[in-house]
Amino acid sequence: MRLFGARLPDVLGSRRAATIATTTVGVGLLVIAVWGTPAGLYTGAFVFGVGQAFAFPALMSLALAGAPSNERGAVVGTQTAFVDVAFGLGSVSLGAIAHAIGYRGTFAVSAAVAAAGLVLLRTKVREVRIA
């Protein structure tokens, strides 16, 4: 999927591609939270996976767009490091949330985080293109 999503920022613009990807991630998480059957889990996981595959190139493109060419390696390293930290801290945090409110609630909280990210993306990030 990421092979198809890699061109999305070039075609649509980084911000628009990131908006589509983040929305898709949030919808997938919400489907898992609301549709409490195996079919819901599989459907939501597929939608989430598509969004996640498209998100990485779009967000990387946004991160690189404002960087001078001699700093792009540092930008890639920093962005991927923060993704790794987010996965690590998110897993621990969501484990605690799952213990408190259950697994479906965990996916609802995750969908809310995706929605908050979408709001930040739409209100704080301007469209950019890599030269």
At 26-75, the pLDDT tens digits run: 999 999 999 989 999 999 999 999 999 999 999 998 889 878 889 999 99
Residue 80: inside a domain, yes or no? yes
Q: Whole-prediction pTM value?
A: 0.87
Cα separation, 92 vs 63, whole angstroms = 26
Between CA 23 and CA 28 the distance in angstroms is 9
Task: Specify if 97 maps to a domain.
Answer: yes
Buried b (16+ CB within 10 A) or exposed e, 10-26: eeebbbebbbbbbbbbb
Whether residue 69 is contained in a domain is answered as: yes
118 inside domain: yes
Q: How far is CA 106 from the centre of its chain?
A: 16
Overall number of domains in the chain: 1
Are 29 and 44 contacting, i.e. CB atoms less than 8 angstroms apart?
A: yes
In-domain check, residue 129: no
Confidence of residue 118 (pLDDT cuts 50, 70, 90): very high
User: 37: domain range?
Assistant: 2-124
